[in-house]
Structure 1
Amino acid sequence: MSQQEQTTDSQSLTLVQAVRDGLYGEMQRDEDVIVMGEDVGENGGVFRATQGLHEEFGDQRVVDTPLAESGIVGTAVGMAAYGLRPVPEIQFLGFIYPAFDQIVSHAARLRTRSRGRFTCPMVIRAPYGGGIRAPEHHSESTEAFFAHQPGLKVVVPSTPYDTKGLLAAAIRDPDPVIFLEPKLIYRAFREDVPDERYTVELGEAAVRREGTDVSVFTWGAMTRPTIEAAENLAEEGIDCEVVDLRTLSPLDDEAILESFQKTGRAVVVHEAPKTGGLAGEIIATIQEEVLLYQEAPIGRVTGFDVPFPLYALEDYYLPEAARIEDEIRETVEF
């Protein structure tokens, strides 16, 4: 559900432009919002997601940091505890691990550790995922690490409209949010995005395609090949419902269960490795709550349990429409 603050004109934006637009709007709205990270200032970030913010807001609110992820996030935790709303950028999700201790031991626990005296209103932005022919550590999809940690919210947009609204909601949230941006589709398409500020509520999934035969749950960059697979299968008479989860922690259990009760079949698509991936949690939730509606084993289309491969094997590793179609057919025909 989206909440616009006022009706306004729109512009056609890519997903990465929507990130920048969301940051700009929240920095205008609230002077406590601070952007920080490696090269986010004068250079505008490695993907130019913060381009122009330094010129607009100055080096006290758009801060170029040393190349030290633990220091970036640790500093942001201190800022957040004392009333600011920092938005640190980690250039790639695969670079976040030096800051893992700061995230799970401090940011996620600050509210409970202080018995509510302090909160940690910060948003850690990180481009994630493969498909751009990047070297090692640049193609990680390890969202399950963070969804597993109580005290963190995990958000993964798949459209420019949602990106701006979800980012605004994340920045306004009183607790820490991991905001993962699917860089494969940073510039893949455009969508009309309102010029004015608005929010998209955290914790609510979006049904991207209504269907009756099988529910397909996905998020981020995998939403587009999943919709493509659904449209292809419609020509064969298979009617897929595609649910974009958008927020991975907290999961929108109500939307998941409602869709499954309608179709009785499900497939989960994510590019992270299969073992320990969030597909398993989604499947367990379905079987705990609505097992008696189940008509077939629930399928998974995921990355493989190997380090993300380089170049020649990258397209083979990532779920593509053809592989998604095969799993959906098998589920429907069971």
Structure 2
Amino acid sequence: MPSGREISYREAVREAMVQVMRGDDNVFLIGEDVGVYGGAFGVSRGMIEEFGPNRVVDAPLSEAATAGMCVGAALLGMRPIFEIQFSDFITHCMDQLVNQAAKLRYMFGGEARVPLVVRTPGGAGTGAAAQHSQSLEAWFVHVPGLKVVMPSTPYDAKGLLLAALDDPNPVIFYEHKLLYNRKGEVPEELYRLPLGEAAVSREGDDVTIVSCGLVHHFALEAAQELSGEGIEAEVIDLRTLSPMDHATVRRSVEKTGRLVVVEEDVKTCGWGAEVISRLTESETFYALDRAPARVAGEDTPIPYNKTLEAFVRPSPEKITRAVHSLLDARVGVYG
């Protein structure tokens, strides 16, 4: 839906929240420093001036307490947006999100709903070291009752956040720190993108590259480089990790016969393993002419040193090498 208007990823997220809050008094934003300060990454800047401190709420320094309050508010008909400053701090909320929010609708036979959106910046690349740089999204993909969204573009960020805010279930909404300044075309009007529907960002016949979030741009960079060598990669942006669009991946692999999955979280038990497992458990397995490859984070805490940090993260160069390994008929996965 081209609009000709370019705004940043940060502005797209803010615009989605503002437009919904203008139309629904039950929606409110809460989190540490979201009010006067405007959020740790400036996403909510200016919102307290429009909506006041009762709807843009500076929370106390307790993610656990705020998460519990949000679950209670959602059960009573409110639609809270909880911003967690760094996705690493979501570890303080595990009982409230995993044991309460994710399960209450099921336990009450559908009579209780928890329309809660947890927004949180994740990922590495800022030199923020081991406790402020993790990618923990695979944890929540594992939990029935939670939806997990990870937009890669400003357009998707607005459309998916608006869809998440309409959803009667709890949604974990990951925003990569390095995407906030990235710009793209975003319509000013309200629009929604369905959760659980992947996008084919680039068409190709030689290999399928599946990615999500920041590393989706790495996949596109690698595909452009490979195109110069005569290798045409099809690039898929999952956009949501739960529910996950396995059908789009299968259709692409049935065309290309080769698969590379790119994820920023660590390789062991990462969500990329689920992509590959679902594919190999299906009839699409017989379309593969090579073992799938994974390009993922190394199984280590994120280093502070910039050179080491870059070494443990995925990159366009690692993706290119993984594709070459498939086309060179070397069986195995790339680490």
TM-score by length of 2: 0.96
Partner of 2:220: 227
Deviation of residue 12 (structure 1)? 1.3
Partner of 1:323: 318
Which residue of the other structure, out of 218, 232, 243, is the alignment partner of 2:236?
243
| CA offsets 1:272-296 (integer angstroms, 9 cap, x no match) | 1100001111000110111111110
Taking only aligned residues, the RMSD between alpha carbons, in angstroms, comes to 1.2
Letter in 1 for 2:279: I
Partner of 1:27: 21
Deviation of residue 247 (structure 1)? 0.3
Which residue of the other structure, out of 191, 196, 210, is the alignment partner of 1:198?
191
Deviation of residue 65 (structure 1)? 0.5
Q: Aligned ranges for residues 251-266 of structure 1 at < 5 Å?
A: 251-266=244-259
Partner of 2:46: 52
Q: CA contact under 8 A between 2:140 and 2:146: conserved in structure 1?
A: yes
Deviation of residue 135 (structure 1)? 3.4
Deviation of residue 10 (structure 1)? 5.5
* Structure 1 stretch displaced more, 136-145 or 166-175: 136-145
Q: Aligned ranges for residues 90-129 of structure 1 at < 5 Å?
A: 90-129=84-123
SS at match of 2:281: helix
Deviation of residue 207 (structure 1)? 0.7
SS at match of 1:241: strand
Please give the alpha-carbon distance, in whole angstroms, between the structure 1 residues aligned to 2:301 and 2:228: 36
SS at match of 1:76: helix
1:156 aligns to 2:173 (yes or no): no
Please give the alpha-carbon distance, in whole angstroms, between the structure 2 residues aligned to 1:256 and 1:73: 34
State, as a whole percentage, how many aligned pairs show the same letter: 45
Deviation of residue 333 (structure 1)? 2.3
| CA offsets 1:23-59 (integer angstroms, 9 cap, x no match) | 1111112111110000001111010101111111111
Please give the alpha-carbon distance, in whole angstroms, between the structure 2 residues aligned to 1:94 and 1:135: 11
Please give the alpha-carbon distance, in whole angstroms, between the structure 2 residues aligned to 1:102 and 1:47: 25
Letter in 2 for 1:194: P
Q: Aligned ranges for residues 183-194 of structure 1 at < 5 Å?
A: 183-187=177-181, 189-194=182-187
Partner of 2:309: 314
Please give the alpha-carbon distance, in whole angstroms, between the structure 2 residues aligned to 1:308 and 1:29: 41
Q: Give every structure 1 segment of 4 or more consecutive aligned residues whose post-TM-superposition deviation is greater than 3 Å.
A: none
Q: Aligned ranges for residues 297-308 of structure 1 at < 5 Å?
A: 297-308=291-302
Please give the alpha-carbon distance, in whole angstroms, between the structure 1 residues aligned to 2:213 and 2:110: 32
Please give the alpha-carbon distance, in whole angstroms, between the structure 1 residues aligned to 2:309 and 2:13: 26
SS at match of 1:63: strand
Please give the alpha-carbon distance, in whole angstroms, between the structure 2 residues aligned to 1:101 and 1:331: 42
Please give the alpha-carbon distance, in whole angstroms, between the structure 2 residues aligned to 1:182 and 1:208: 19
| CA offsets 1:244-264 (integer angstroms, 9 cap, x no match) | 000000100111111111111
Letter in 1 for 2:164: A
Q: CA contact under 8 A between 2:129 and 2:303: conserved in structure 1?
A: no
Q: CA contact under 8 A between 2:3 and 2:185: conserved in structure 1?
A: no
Q: Aligned ranges for residues 9-28 of structure 1 at < 5 Å?
A: 11-28=5-22
SS at match of 1:199: coil
* Structure 1 stretch displaced more, 108-117 or 161-170: 108-117
Q: CA contact under 8 A between 2:268 and 2:299: conserved in structure 1?
A: yes
Which residue of the other structure, out of 132, 152, 160, is the alignment partner of 1:166?
160
Please give the alpha-carbon distance, in whole angstroms, between the structure 1 residues aligned to 2:178 and 2:47: 23
Partner of 2:130: 136
Which residue of the other structure, out of 63, 73, 77, is the alignment partner of 1:79?
73
Q: CA contact under 8 A between 2:130 and 2:301: conserved in structure 1?
A: no
Q: 1:9 to 1:215 in 2, by over 3 A?
A: closer
Partner of 2:333: none
Deviation of residue 9 (structure 1)? 5.9
Please give the alpha-carbon distance, in whole angstroms, between the structure 2 residues aligned to 1:31 and 1:213: 50
Deviation of residue 271 (structure 1)? 0.9
Q: CA contact under 8 A between 1:10 and 1:195: conserved in structure 2?
A: no
Please give the alpha-carbon distance, in whole angstroms, between the structure 2 residues aligned to 1:254 and 1:170: 21
Deviation of residue 311 (structure 1)? 2.4
Q: How many residues align?
A: 327
SS at match of 2:314: coil
1:65 aligns to 2:59 (yes or no): yes
